[in-house]
């Protein structure tokens, strides 16, 4: 199969991808179950076709060029669809298509998702829903690998892989239990957190940068008493009176039924939330309806 207008064959790109992943022609040949000369021949033909070198040859070793790694990014994005075919066939073989898979941080199960699932069930009691949770990266992976039909996450996402609809923007807020001293404030600042026990999210998240790093910037050592790894785990500790947490407004609103209160926190950032799915996926009626209900929950 040729790539339109380029003269490049799909098989050549598959072989290049495996050589770069495996690190050698020998290992690539073993993974693809072809001979090493066949790998070498396809790489040479590909280089001749595209008009530039993909490897430097030093002491019988292939050293990938920068252009090879850049091309791999494009190849990976293109091959993702092919990689999904096997899991998708297996999924369809073993699952009723009346099952709707939704991936979202666990915090969304406090408010938005129960409302959405209720609407889906009211439309037809034959629908069942599977919910996958995790970090934002894990949510994206659930959708990418077909474990969920769509997800709720925040940007950035790769627009070569996903389509999405915006559902809202949020800024940072400080979450605290009822009758806390922060209830009298209009805005909570880093200075206000001095001396407060903090329920802190893992350093990979932006909320950590806003709270803990802001305290360190003003010369105060943060008093972290609990550290958690995904949105949705802080509210229990906050409501138990153990400490306060910095999150964002969309997440904080999920906790409304639990009685948690919040105020804008500065310094802060803006987060753009979306409902997203695999790029160019033809959404069946049930999925379209479910996505519409998520969007409606934030309109």
Q: CATH number, domain at 19?
A: 1.10.10.10
Both 66 and 114 in one domain: the answer is: no
Cis omega (within 30 of 0) for bond into 156: yes
Both 108 and 152 in one domain: the answer is: yes
Both 183 and 249 in one domain: the answer is: yes
Alpha helices for the chain (secondary structure H): 10-22, 25-32, 36-50, 66-94, 112-123, 136-144, 190-193, 206-208, 214-217, 234-239, 249-253, 285-297
Distance, CA of 83 to CA of 76 (rounded, Å):
10
| Apex 51 CA angle, 50 and 55, nearest 5 | 90
pLDDT tier for residue 106 given thresholds of 50, 70 and 90: very high
Report pLDDT for 179: 93
Q: Is the pLDDT of residue 5 over 70?
A: no
Distance, CA of 292 to CA of 111 (rounded, Å):
16
Conformational region of residue 229, where left means phi above 0, alpha means psi within -120 to 50, and beta covers everything else: alpha
Q: Kindly state whether residue 5 falls inside one of the protein's structural domains.
A: no
Total number of domains constituting the chain: 3
Both 260 and 190 in one domain: the answer is: yes
Report pLDDT for 161: 93
Report pLDDT for 73: 85
Report pLDDT for 82: 72
Q: Kindly state whether residue 2 falls inside one of the protein's structural domains.
A: no
3-class secondary-structure state, position 215: helix
- Which residues have C-beta within 8 Å of that of residue 45, sequence separation ≥ 6? 12
C-beta atoms surrounding 136 within 10 Å: 20
Both 265 and 243 in one domain: the answer is: yes
- Which residues have C-beta within 8 Å of that of residue 38, sequence separation ≥ 6? 29
Q: Kindly state whether residue 56 falls inside one of the protein's structural domains.
A: yes
Distance, CA of 294 to CA of 274 (rounded, Å):
10
Both 156 and 292 in one domain: the answer is: yes
Both 280 and 144 in one domain: the answer is: yes
Asked which of 85, 106, 133 is the last residue of a domain, the reply is 85
Distance, CA of 143 to CA of 108 (rounded, Å):
16
Q: Kindly state whether residue 241 falls inside one of the protein's structural domains.
A: yes
Both 176 and 243 in one domain: the answer is: yes
Both 109 and 67 in one domain: the answer is: no
Report pLDDT for 261: 96
- Computed over every residue of the chain, the mean pLDDT equals 87
Place of tokens 């153990």: 242
Asked which of 85, 112, 128 is the last residue of a domain, the reply is 85
Report pLDDT for 210: 59
Q: Is the pLDDT of residue 234 over 60?
A: yes
Q: Kindly state whether residue 282 falls inside one of the protein's structural domains.
A: yes
Q: Kindly state whether residue 111 falls inside one of the protein's structural domains.
A: yes
Structure tokens at 120: 């889906």
30-60 per-position pLDDT tens digit = 888 999 889 989 999 988 888 888 888 887 7
Cα Rg of the chain, angstroms: 24
End-to-end CA distance of the chain: 46
Both 20 and 41 in one domain: the answer is: yes
Report pLDDT for 90: 67
Q: Kindly state whether residue 3 falls inside one of the protein's structural domains.
A: no
State the pairing for strand pair 162-176/150-154: unpaired
CATH number of the domain that residue 255 is part of:
3.40.190.10
Q: Kindly state whether residue 4 falls inside one of the protein's structural domains.
A: no
Both 107 and 71 in one domain: the answer is: no
Place of tokens 């979202």: 104
Instruction: Indicate if the alpha-carbon torsion angle 238, 243, 247, 252 is positive or negative.
Output: positive
| Apex 143 CA angle, 230 and 254, nearest 5 | 40
169-224 per-position pLDDT tens digit = 999 999 999 999 999 999 999 899 888 999 987 766 555 555 666 767 777 777 88
Structure tokens at 217: 């910037």
132-161 per-position pLDDT tens digit = 998 899 999 999 988 999 999 999 999 999
Q: Are 109 and 233 in contact (CB under 8 A)?
A: no
Asked which of 85, 103, 130 is the last residue of a domain, the reply is 85
Average pLDDT over residues 244-258: 91
Q: What percent of the chain has pLDDT over 90?
A: 45
Both 58 and 97 in one domain: the answer is: no
Report pLDDT for 121: 92
Domain that holds residue 68: 10-85
The dihedrals phi and psi of 104, each to the nearest 5 degrees, come to -165, 150
Average pLDDT over residues 88-103: 72
Place of tokens 């949020």: 170
Q: Is the pLDDT of residue 298 over 60?
A: yes
């Amino acid at each position: 199969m040729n790539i339109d207008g380029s003269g490049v064959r799909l098989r050549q790109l598959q072989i290049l991808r495996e050589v770069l992943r495996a690190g050698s022609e020998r290992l690539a040949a073993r993974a693809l179950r072809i001979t090493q000369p066949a790998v070498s021949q396809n790489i040479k033909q590909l280089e001749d076709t595209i008009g530039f070198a993909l490897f430097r040859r030093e002491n019988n070793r292939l050293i990938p060029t920068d252009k090879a790694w850049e091309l791999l990014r494009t190849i990976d994005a293109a091959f993702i669809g092919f990689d999904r075919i096997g899991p998708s066939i297996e999924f369809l073989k073993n699952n009723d298509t009346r099952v709707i898979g939704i991936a979202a941080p666990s915090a969304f199960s406090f408010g938005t998702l129960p409302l959405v699932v209720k609407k889906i069930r009211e439309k037809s009691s034959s629908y069942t829903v599977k919910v996958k949770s995790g970090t934002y990266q894990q949510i994206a992976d659930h959708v990418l690998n077909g474990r969920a039909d769509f997800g709720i996450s925040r940007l950035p996402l790769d627009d070569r892989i996903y389509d999405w609809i915006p559902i809202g923007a949020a800024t940072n807020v400080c979450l605290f239990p009822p009758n806390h001293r922060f209830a009298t404030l209009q805005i909570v600042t880093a200075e206000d957190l001095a001396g407060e026990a903090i329920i802190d999210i893992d350093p990979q998240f932006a909320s950590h940068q806003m709270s803990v790093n802001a305290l360190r910037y003003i010369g105060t050592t943060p008093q972290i008493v609990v550290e958690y790894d995904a949105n949705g785990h802080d509210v229990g500790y906050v409501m138990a009176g153990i400490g306060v947490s910095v999150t964002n407004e969309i997440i904080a609103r999920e906790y409304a039924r639990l009685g948690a209160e919040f105020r804008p926190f500065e310094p802060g950032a803006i987060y753009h939330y979306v409902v997203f799915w695999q790029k160019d996926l033809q959404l069946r009626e049930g999925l379209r309806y479910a996505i519409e209900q998520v969007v409606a929950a934030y309109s």
